[in-house]
Amino acid sequence: MNASQSFLLAIDLGTSGPKVGLFTAQGDLVAYEYQPVPLHLLLGGGAEQAPADWWQAICTATRRLLAQRLVPVERILALCCTSQWSGTVAVDAEGQPLMNAIIWLDTRGAPYIRRALRGFPEVQGYNLGKLLAWLRLTAGVPGQAGKDSIAHILYIRHEYAEIYRHTFKFLEPKDYINLRLTGKFAASYDSIALHWVTDNRDLRRVDYSPRLLRLVGLEREKLPDLKRAVDILGTLTPQAAEELGLPPSVQVVMGTPDLQSAALGSGAAGDFEAHLYIGTSSWIACHVPFKKTDLLHGICSLPSAIPNRYLVADEQETAGACLTFLRDNILFHTDELLTQAATSEIYQIFDRMAARAPAGSGGLIFTPWLYGERTPVDDRNLRGAWFNLSLRTTREHLIRAIYEGVAYNTRWLLGYVEKFVGRCFQALNVVGGGAKSEIWSQILADVLERPIRQVKDPILANVRGAAYLAAVALGVLKFEDLSGRTPIAHTYTPNPDTRPIYRALFREFLEIYRRCAPLYARLNRGPEFEAS
Residue 498: per-residue pLDDT: 98
Query: Model confidence at 60, in pLDDT bands (50, 70, 90)?
Result: very high
Structure confidence by residue, pLDDT tens digits, 236-246: 999 999 999 99
Residue 374: per-residue pLDDT: 82
Residue 510's SS3 state is helix
CA distance 532 to 530: 6
- pLDDT of 532 > 50? The answer is no
With beta carbons less than 8 A apart as the criterion, state whether 308 and 290 touch: no
Give the residue-averaged pLDDT of 123-138: 93
Give the residue-averaged pLDDT of 39-48: 94
Closest CA to 66 of 37, 35, 36, 31: 31
With beta carbons less than 8 A apart as the criterion, state whether 286 and 421 touch: yes
Residue 256's SS3 state is strand
The CA dihedral of 147, 148, 149, 152, to the nearest 10 degrees, is -40
Give the pairing type, strands 186-188 and 101-102: unpaired
Contacts of 511 (CB under 8 A, 6+ apart): none
Residue 318: per-residue pLDDT: 81
With beta carbons less than 8 A apart as the criterion, state whether 248 and 237 touch: yes
* Range scoring the smallest mean pLDDT among 190-194, 219-223, 298-302, 344-348: 344-348
Give the residue-averaged pLDDT of 328-344: 57
Which run of H or of E encompasses 187?
strand 186-188
Query: Model confidence at 294, in pLDDT bands (50, 70, 90)?
Result: confident
Q: What is the mean pLDDT of the chain?
A: 92
User: Which residue type sits at 182?
Assistant: T
Residue 344: per-residue pLDDT: 61
- pLDDT of 502 > 80? The answer is yes
Residue 279: per-residue pLDDT: 81
Distance of CA 112 to the CA centre of its chain: 23
CA distance 320 to 436: 11
Residue 526: per-residue pLDDT: 65
- pTM (predicted TM-score): 0.87
- pLDDT of 338 > 90? The answer is no
Helix-helix angle 499-523:395-421, to 10 degrees? 90
In 422-456, alpha helices (H): 438-448
| β-pair partners for 234 | 252
With beta carbons less than 8 A apart as the criterion, state whether 185 and 95 touch: yes
* Range scoring the smallest mean pLDDT among 202-211, 269-278, 387-396, 523-532: 523-532
Residue 337: per-residue pLDDT: 40
Give the residue-averaged pLDDT of 170-184: 98
| β-pair partners for 301 | 312
Residue 527: per-residue pLDDT: 56
Residue 391: per-residue pLDDT: 79
With beta carbons less than 8 A apart as the criterion, state whether 409 and 316 touch: yes
Residue 300: per-residue pLDDT: 87
- pLDDT of 360 > 60? The answer is yes
User: Which residue type sits at 374?
Assistant: R
- DSSP codes of every residue in 323-371: HHHIIIIIIS-SSTT--S---TTHHHHHHHHHHHSPTTGGG-EEE--BT
CA distance 380 to 283: 17
- pLDDT of 99 > 80? The answer is yes
CA distance 532 to 525: 16
Contacts of 436 (CB under 8 A, 6+ apart): 347, 458, 459
Residue 383: per-residue pLDDT: 95
Query: Model confidence at 339, in pLDDT bands (50, 70, 90)?
Result: very low
Q: Say if residue 475 is exposed, middle or buried (CB neighbours under 10 Å; 0-12, 13-18, 19+).
A: exposed
Residue 334: per-residue pLDDT: 57
- pLDDT of 341 > 80? The answer is no
Query: Model confidence at 293, in pLDDT bands (50, 70, 90)?
Result: confident
